[in-house]
Amino acid sequence: MPEAASPQPAPGSDALPKTYDPAGTEARWQAAWEQAGAFHPDPAAPGQPFSVVIPPPNVTGSLHMGHAFNTALIDTIVRFQRLQGKNVLCLPGTDHASIAVQTILEKQLKAEGASKDDLGRDAFFERAWAWKAESGGTIVGQLRRLGYSVDWGRERFTLDPGLNKAVVEAFLRLHEQGLIYRGEYLVNWCPASGSAVSDLEVEMKEVEGSLWHLRYPLTPLADHPIDHLVVATTRPETMLGDTAVAVNPADPRYAHLVGRSITLPLMGRQIPIVADEHVDPAFGTGCVKVTPAHDPNDFAIGQRHGLPQITVMAKDGSMNEAAGRFAGLDRFEARKAVVAAMEAEGLLVKTEPHRHSVPYSDRGKVPVEPLLSTQWFVRTEPLAARCRTALDNPAGAEPRFVPERWSKVYRDWLTDIRDWCISRQLWWGHRIPAWFVVSETGGVITEATPYFVGRSEAEAWAKAEAQFGAASLAAGRDLVLEQDPDVLDTWFSSGLWPFSTLGWPDPAAADLATWYPTSVLVTGFDIIFFWVARMTMLAGAFLPEARAPFGDVYIHGLVRDENNRKMSKSAGNGIDPLLLIERYGADALRFALVREVAGAGQDIRLDYDRKTDTSATVEAARNFANKLFNATRFALMNLGGETPASLGEPVLAELESEDRWILSRLVRTSSQCAELCGSYRLGEAAKLLYEFAWNDLCDQYIEWAKPRLFGDDQAARTTARRVLAHSLEALLVMLHPLMPHLSEDLWHAVTGAEASEFLALQRWPQPNQQWLDPSHESAFQFGIDAVRAIRNLRALSGVKPAEKLPIGIHTPTAARRDFVIANQGKISRLVGASELHWEAEPTAGQLLGIVDSDAQVGLSVPQQSLDALRERLQKDLAKVEKEIAGLAGRLANPNFAGKAPPEVVAECQANLAEARAQAELVRGRLLDLG
RNA sequence: GGGCGAUUAGCUCAGAGGUAGAGCACUACCUUGACACGGUAGGAGUCACUGGUUCGAUUCCAGUAUCGCCCA
């Protein structure tokens, strides 16, 4: 980056604008980092490897605030680790989101009056890739705009050729291990997308439905009093596929009927009455209709009793030929028609309103239909078992969840896990690498058609030839192979993400060797099952030696809107991160998001005014950015063209009180902040730096150091410059993970570093440990307290801020006396004193304020009505008396003295003495005031 | 039905076994030679409730209530 392009003039210049304008600065540094390849690591480089693969956003449009949040957290972590000197890889990418993208495209086609079948598979794919290019481009642009320090040179897409290779290999190996099978089962069928979906993609929704009580006539039997049973159902249309009625074997009302048969109304079919323990005698009439082909529970009953499965619905949700005269009707129309028909026959007993759960398709937003279908499945238990073992690793759970409580959620899901339906009747996705020998089954694919799994069609052919070639030849027919038309669940490819992106299955991949397993996965709790568990299961199948594909899993909450609702596209309550970035800057948005996340993975609520597109939270962060900008501007104006390096380190022997104080605070802050960032307590780290920067450096240090910075004493000025430059530089380094652009920019301005150098690649500050000095910190704290007491007194007595007047500080303690005398000029400036003097005891004729039991401050002002001061003192007295009561009460308790730690008792006694002394002072002052 | 989380200042949220914190908002004053996106000084809370452990609980434990989420 050419120097001329920098917004910062050379150090020492005072030509900076008064406010920070993030837009240009952020774009410039993003470009500079990328052009320099700053985040493109070499696997052979020194430094402990640290790696993160980002959760790839779906290419379904653009990013929302949740992505910005996830990005802010990950980038803070990886930038921090980079500053620790690690060899950091942060790998970006996007997800093809098979079902979601196909839904979008089909909707577009429908709007154009076309369908995917008109287009054909190839043209549809072309269209899908075009969509991917557009949406993916938008997303990548947004990620760049946030300042994500990822390696764009390693960007991946879950449907790119490299990932396809990994997907095919994974499928093959799982198949070889017997962990993939194909079979006809009751699956969740989404009629909207025309595909099977997994259990996870089904969401239970409470709906107001009806419970229909239907009369099923018993097949007549001479001299038997009961001639019918009543069944209750929420789905009358499925009765067309009933193959039994079930009762509880212990139900005395019906026990004697078990084994008899019923004539199924409307269909005329004879179906048996079976006894099954899973029937709840208390629900409805205690009799349930059994439709094994359309209900999971009935399916299980059917299996136990060997009942036939009659599918009465087609895959588009309409009734099929097996539904007799209802064939062709949509399932919801059929429901009405069946009820009407039953009523017409006098078989509808009653209809009750009934609230119940209905499975909905996550994507299609329509009720899912349990349907018998031949699909591919992953046998999950062996994989899950390995994950549970890794979690129980005596040397430490793998992965380690942060916060820990999520590991229970993860474990529970991996216990009693169901097999994973991985085939989808879609086009956009990884085609299943299986070829059917359709010549064996008359040219069609059935459940019985033999198939071969291969890395390529040629490989499948070779296998097919070997097994069926001779027989085919003998039978005089050609071998015909046809690839399975279906694609894999998106999560199958996402599940390989932490290693497929690093080069797996190539055993020699350097990235894999260096950066696998990855260091930490950062994601929301909502995809622990979808993604985290799938990755650990699949990694266990292929790279079991690592136990888990990531050491830590840092689970964060969701971003909620100003009304505490989860932000979502469908609810229309999303907030576009770009709007806030444009208004406040990416650094401000990032800082605001991270600062909100101090707690243990709680959701964060981002305040937002939709009328004005403003956010007080982000605005506060923007103000902080501006404060830093101005602090740096001040430094540049007062460092005399020098840099931290040219000035050299502060020299201990030359330091004044505020120097000792800020450097001690710096030592403390740098180690605390590193500790917090290293343990994912990023919000606390953000707050710590905010306080150090604003309260300590700006409000105190700079104000106390101004006389030296403005003065003529060269030696004193150099010392102050050294401390200021040093503290500021360290602060900028520490802030870099949180506010990368601003800190990079200001760091260049302060250090005068070459454009080819980057703060992003510097080292975390290592301030001299000798500067840590608690006694100086408390000594200086007295100065802060005294200044505040004087200012308070001025405000209460109504002295004009600009009015200078004689001021005294009264303390008998030698160290404090020395402090006051040594800092006379500085304190005078801070409190507006025309003359500042020290006396052990206050002399008469002053207006006095109390710092603590050992110090008072006095203003030489004419006596006046001082209700405000009196009020204040009375309040102080009340407070201190309350404290005395509490402390005295505690000390009077013999158990306290006996059982509490001695240092606590001593502290308590000291506090009591202090409080009593203060109370005395306050009472004295009140008496003086009359 | 099972599990998890939350309940702290007007709002949004930190916090920690030993006298309650921040940001925003609020009040008063101040355009002081970095910053009004600023400064100074203030006001403001029975830490949801009830028990228990403890010398001491807002903090740990149990239960209750309310809200939210996940699983069935």
Question: ipTM score here?
Answer: 0.96
**pLDDT (mean) for A647-652:** 96
> CA A873 → C1' B22, Å?
27
Q: What nucleotide is nearest A915 when CA is compared to C1'?
A: B19
A25-39, A131-145, A897-911: segment of lowest average pLDDT? A897-911
pLDDT beyond 80 at A571: no
User: In A54-154, at which residue ranges do the beta strands (DSSP E only) sit?
Assistant: 87-91, 93-94
Nucleotides of B under 7 A from a protein CB: 3-6, 11-15, 18-19, 22-25, 28-43, 54-56, 69-72
| A562 pLDDT above the threshold of 80 | no
Q: A37-171+491-556 has which fold?
A: Rossmann fold (3.40.50)
Spatial contact of A536 and A548, defined as CB atoms under 8 Å apart:
yes
Is the pLDDT higher at A569 or at A632?
Answer: A632
A487 CA to B63 C1' distance (Å): 52
Question: Which residue, among A919, A926, A789, has the nearest Cα to A866 in the 3D structure?
Answer: A926
The pLDDT tens digits for A793-802 are: 998 888 888 9
Which tokens belong to A312?
Answer: 């009465």
Protein CA A407 to sugar C1' B54 (Å): 32
- Spatial distance from the CA of A685 to the C1' of B43 (Å): 30
Distance of C1' in B61 from CA in A680, Å: 28
Using C1' positions and the CA of A691, the closest nucleotide is B22
Element (H, E) at A71: helix A65-83
Q: How far does the CA of A409 sit from the C1' of B3, in Å? A: 9
Residue A533 DSSP class: I
C-beta of residue A546 within 8 angstroms of C-beta of residue A517: yes
The whole-angstrom separation of Cα A629 and Cα A618 is 16
C1' (B31) to CA (A647) span, angstroms:
34
| A788 nearest nucleotide via C1' and CA | B41
Coil, strand or helix: which one is A368?
coil
The fold of A616-753 is: Isoleucyl-tRNA Synthetase; Domain 1 (1.10.730)
Q: Tell me the average pLDDT across A613-626.
A: 92
How far is C-alpha A181 from the geometric centre of its chain's CA atoms? 34
Q: What pairing do the DSSP bridges indicate for beta strands A423-424 and A487-488? A: antiparallel
What residue has its CA nearest to the C1' of B72? A204
pLDDT, residue A599, reads 63
Q: Give strand letter and number of the nucleotide nearest A697 (CA to C1').
A: B34
pLDDT of residue A12: 40
- For residue A602, give the nucleotide whose C1' atom is nearest its CA: B5
Which residues, at least 6 apart from A270, have a Cβ–Cβ distance to it below 8 Å?
Answer: A219, A261, A262, A263, A264
Task: Give the pLDDT confidence of A462-477 residue by residue, as tens digits.
Answer: 999 998 887 777 777 8
Q: How confident is the model at residue A600 (pLDDT cuts 50, 70, 90)?
A: low
pLDDT at A592 over 50: yes
Adjacent-strand bridge partners of A353: A210
Strand, coil or helix: what is A784?
A: helix
Q: Are strands A270-275 and A481-483 parallel, antiparallel or unpaired?
A: unpaired
pLDDT grade for A2, boundaries at 50, 70 and 90: very low
**Spacing of A377 CA from B50 C1' in Å:** 52
pLDDT at residue A13 is higher than 60: no
- For the CA of A620 and the C1' of B23, the distance in angstroms is 7
How confident is the model over A147-175, as pLDDT tens digits?
999 999 999 999 999 999 999 999 999 99
Nucleotide nearest to A883 (CA to C1'): B19
For residue A908, give the nucleotide whose C1' atom is nearest its CA.
B18
Predicted local distance difference test score (pLDDT) of residue A78: 98
Protein residue nearest nucleotide B39, by CA to C1': A699
Q: What value does the mean pLDDT take over residues A537-553? A: 95
DSSP state of A422: -
Strands A423-424 and A420-421: unpaired
Q: Read off the pLDDT of residues A491-532 as tens digits, 9 standing for 90 and up.
A: 999 999 999 999 999 989 999 999 999 999 999 998 999 999
Which of A231-240, A652-661, A885-894 has the lowest average pLDDT? Answer: A885-894
Query: Where are the alpha helices (H) located in A394-521, listed in sequence order?
Result: 406-414, 457-464, 470-475, 490-494, 497-500, 510-515
Domain spans in chain A, listed from the N-terminal domain onward: 37-171+491-556, 190-370, 433-483, 616-753, 777-929
Higher pLDDT, A427 or A847: A427
B69 C1' to A433 CA distance, Å = 39
**Would you state the pLDDT for residue A5?**
34
Question: Which protein residue lies nearest to nucleotide B38, measured between its Cα and the C1' atom?
Answer: A627
Nearest Cα to A624, choosing from A658, A596, A584? Answer: A584
Q: Cβ neighbours of residue A625 under 8 Å, at least 6 residues apart?
A: A20, A22, A585, A587, A588, A591, A739, A742
Residue A905 (CA) to nucleotide B51 (C1'), in angstroms, measures 29
Question: Which nucleotide has the shortest C1'-to-CA distance from A683?
Answer: B14
Q: What amino acid occupies position A818?
A: D
Give residue A873's pLDDT.
87
Q: When comparing pLDDT for A335 and A564, which is higher?
A: A335
> CA(A559)–C1'(B67) in Å?
18
* Architecture of the CATH domain A190-370: Alpha-Beta Complex (3.90)
Length of chain A: 930
State the nearest residue by CA to the C1' of B3.
A409
What's the CA–C1' distance between A283 and B2, in Å? Answer: 21
CA of A795: nucleotide with nearest C1': B41
Nearest residue to B13 (CA, C1')?
A596
Nearest protein residue to the C1' atom of B71, measured from CA:
A413
Grade residue A865 by pLDDT with cuts at 50, 70 and 90. Answer: low
A 10 A CB-CB count for A83 gives: 22
- Place A829 in a pLDDT band, splitting at 50, 70 and 90: very high
Residues A129-154 pLDDT 10s: 999 999 999 999 999 999 999 999 99
Q: Are strands A550-556 and A451-453 parallel, antiparallel or unpaired?
A: unpaired
